Amino acid sequence: MPFCPKCEYEYKDSVKVCPECKVDLIDEMVQDTSETEYIELYMVSNRMEADVVISLLTEHNVGCLIRDLRLFPVLPDFGRRARLRVAVPKSQAQEALKLLKEAVEDGALTEQGRFL
């Protein structure tokens, strides 16, 4: 899926420009992340919360992608607002999970996201 080079959010194929940053999306295939297997770990419902997660993970050298699910049908058990999924490289999933759980306990994450 294409993603924004500025905020690193990932979008559906039909999206060409990041609605937040107004910059052209980059095809994921041009990046070496194409060899990395990402798994979805956590879900939040707004960008501010997602940004907290991104800074937390990158601070600890854990790569991450945010998948924006707004253009997909929302299943009932996702909750009414939840729509952004945090994906991390499979090799770093354990570390990312630990960091996120600590952040939730510390109250660094202002909203209760969902672990997937």
The contact set with Zn ion (CB under 5 A) reads 4, 6-7, 18, 20-21
CA–CA distance, 27 with 90 (Å, rounded to integer): 21
CB of 88 to Zn ion, least distance (A): 19
Given the complex with Zn ion, which of 58 and 91 has the nearer CB atom? 58
CB of 8 to Zn ion, least distance (A): 7
CA–CA distance, 7 with 30 (Å, rounded to integer): 17
Given the complex with Zn ion, which of 20 and 102 has the nearer CB atom? 20
Q: Give which of 112, 110, 89, 108 is closest to 99, Cα–Cα.
A: 108
CB of 95 to Zn ion, least distance (A): 25
Given the complex with Zn ion, which of 7 and 26 has the nearer CB atom? 7
CB of 9 to Zn ion, least distance (A): 5
**Neighbouring C-alpha atoms within 13 Å toward the C-beta of 60:** 19
**Dihedral angle computed from the Cα positions of residues 25, 67, 71 and 108, in that order, rounded to the nearest 10 degrees:** -120
Given the complex with Zn ion, which of 11 and 42 has the nearer CB atom? 11
